[in-house]
A and B are shown apart, each in its own frame.
Chain A
Amino acid sequence: MEEKQIHDDLASIRSLMERSSKFISLSGLSGVLAGVYALIGVCIIYFKLSGANTAYSVIPGWHTIIYYLPSSTIWIAIGVLIASVVTCVVLSTYKAKRKGQQVWGPASKALLFNISVPLLAGGLFIIILLGRGIFEFVIPSSLIFYGLALVSASNYTFGVVKYLGILQIALGLIAALLPGYGLLLWALGFGVLHIVYGSIMYFKYGG
């Protein structure tokens, strides 16, 4: 057996093991865009809250204590979520086609399942919090559950997703300790971190 042939065999095995178990068409660009949507969303919420409405009290600056969460805030958050998911699906499908990779295979199914379980649990938990009027834990919960979803999904895609998840969990815990800074931490987690990690993925893995 030729030495070069063995090298080729081993390289092909390594790449197959990687490609078959991980969804490597996740679009970094969609991460950047999701971060931009989140920052726009946070800005809209911030300026709405600063509108000095009597329903909630606002201390100037970022220290915004939300006693009452206006439903518009929830709709903006849901809007950001939907726009981000659609962008991610469209751009990842495009990237997979461009690279000749499978879009809907065992790897993407495992990725979706592992991201859905913590995300659905978190979504339901937040609905319960809203229903019971415990608003100060809405932002921390969203960051913590999203971070858990990323960590759980990270085995099925790029490894950097795990670190993004851990940082989101950390921000969520900080948000729980400092309820006044929820909006700022939301902007950091869903906005800045997405842009940073999206760029890393974009430049490291192309697209």
Chain B
Amino acid sequence: MAAKNPFENLDKAFENRVRLQIMSVLVANERYDFNSLKELLSITDGNLASHLKALEKDEYIVVNKTFVGRKPNTNYAATEKGKKAFKQHIDALDQFLKLQRGK
């Protein structure tokens, strides 16, 4: 039986490393706020915002805006769809490594 091509399961949305990193934080945590995410990944506001927007468009994450006192606080959380896509992508990467080793 021919081994299934693991690349079929790789997700285009996660080709970018920052998006994969954002997703891994949101899968490990119930929710995460913008500033903590920025500090953790050490990237700029604009860069983070554009990647978050892309993930939001794919419906992999949801945004929740609240106010702490008068300061706006933006929280992000992974959706079920996002969690599933992330798991599938990681599994595909694992699969690929296994195939490489088998050679």
When C-beta atoms are compared, the residue in chain A nearest to B39 turns out to be A102
A contacts with B, residue count (CB < 8 A): 17
Nearest CB of chain B from residue A8's CB, rounded to whole Å = 9
- Contact between chains at A13 and B39 (CB < 8 Å): no
Specify which chain B residues have a CB less than 8 angstroms from the CB of A19 in the assembled complex: 40
CB contacts under 8 Å to B, within A12-42, are 12-13, 16-21
- Contact between chains at A16 and B39 (CB < 8 Å): no
- Contact between chains at B39 and A20 (CB < 8 Å): no
- Contact between chains at B97 and A6 (CB < 8 Å): yes
> How many CB-defined contacts (below 8 Å) exist between A and B?
51
- Contact between chains at B40 and A17 (CB < 8 Å): no
B55 touches A (CB below 8 Å): no
CB contacts under 8 Å to B, within A26-79, are none
A133 touches B (CB below 8 Å): no
Specify which chain B residues have a CB less than 8 angstroms from the CB of A177 in the assembled complex: none
- Contact between chains at B36 and A6 (CB < 8 Å): no
When C-beta atoms are compared, the residue in chain B nearest to A13 turns out to be B24
Per-residue A-contact encoding for B91-102, CB less than 8 Å = 1, 0 else: 001101100100
When C-beta atoms are compared, the residue in chain B nearest to A18 turns out to be B28
Per-residue B-contact encoding for A164-184, CB less than 8 Å = 1, 0 else: 000000000000000000000
B70 touches A (CB below 8 Å): no
In Å, the complex CA distance between A17 and B33 comes to: 15
Nearest CB of chain A from residue B99's CB, rounded to whole Å = 10
A7 touches B (CB below 8 Å): yes
- Contact between chains at B32 and A20 (CB < 8 Å): yes
- Contact between chains at A10 and B25 (CB < 8 Å): no
23 contacts between A and B (CB under 8 A): A1-B96, A6-B93, A6-B96, A9-B17, A10-B90, A10-B94, A10-B97, A13-B90, A16-B24, A16-B28, A16-B40, A17-B24, A17-B25, A17-B27, A17-B28, A20-B25, A20-B28, A20-B29, A20-B32, A21-B29, A105-B36, A105-B39, A106-B32
| Chain B interface (Cβ < 8 Å from any Cβ of A) | 17, 20-21, 24-25, 27-29, 31-33, 36, 39-41, 90, 93-94, 96-97, 100
Sorted nearest first, the 4 A-B pairs with minimum C-beta distance are A17-B28, A13-B24, A20-B25, A21-B28
